[in-house]
Amino acid sequence: LNGASDIKRNINIDGIDFFSDPWRVSEILRNLISNAIKYRNLDLRVQSEISIKIRVDNLRADISFTDNGIGISEENLTRVFEMFYRASEQSDGSGIGLYIVKNAVDKLGGKISVQSKAGIGTRFHIILPNKVNNIVAKIPHLITNRT
């Protein structure tokens, strides 16, 4: 995407392995990153920045995705996950990116929330269940069937 190379990236991942649907998790991150690039602050005095913090334990992945872009006004926050809704005219986006994110989070059994201030930036908080226990529970069955 145009402007991606101008953005400072901070990524911090901590914890154990995470088991989930890789396609849906990729869709979530891809759309959030795409939006952060499209709706970055174009003021040259501000270094555009994306911060992704992921903490994984046996139960879940706790994902915090923050940018210092143009932000979303309070009146638009309640509608950002609606299909075809666009909170800004800065980009020629179709308005389905955050709808896809919400749909993927829901399909994975997770939760998503958003906080934003116009002119300051946006923070998405996502909780996704870690399916590691499903994998571990199948191990004895897999071993038994091999003999």
Please report, for the domain that includes residue 89, its CATH number: 3.30.565.10
Please state the domain count of the chain.
1
- Give me the count of residues in the chain: 147
Q: How far apart are CA 62 and CA 59, in angstroms?
A: 10
Q: What is the pLDDT along the chain (147 residues), one digit of tens a residue?
A: 677 777 889 999 999 999 999 999 999 999 999 999 988 888 767 788 999 999 999 999 999 999 999 998 888 888 888 877 666 665 566 778 899 999 999 999 999 999 999 889 999 999 999 997 766 666 665 555 554
Closest CA to 18 of 50, 63, 64, 66: 63
Domain extent at residue 66: 4-146
Tokens 């970055």 belong to 40
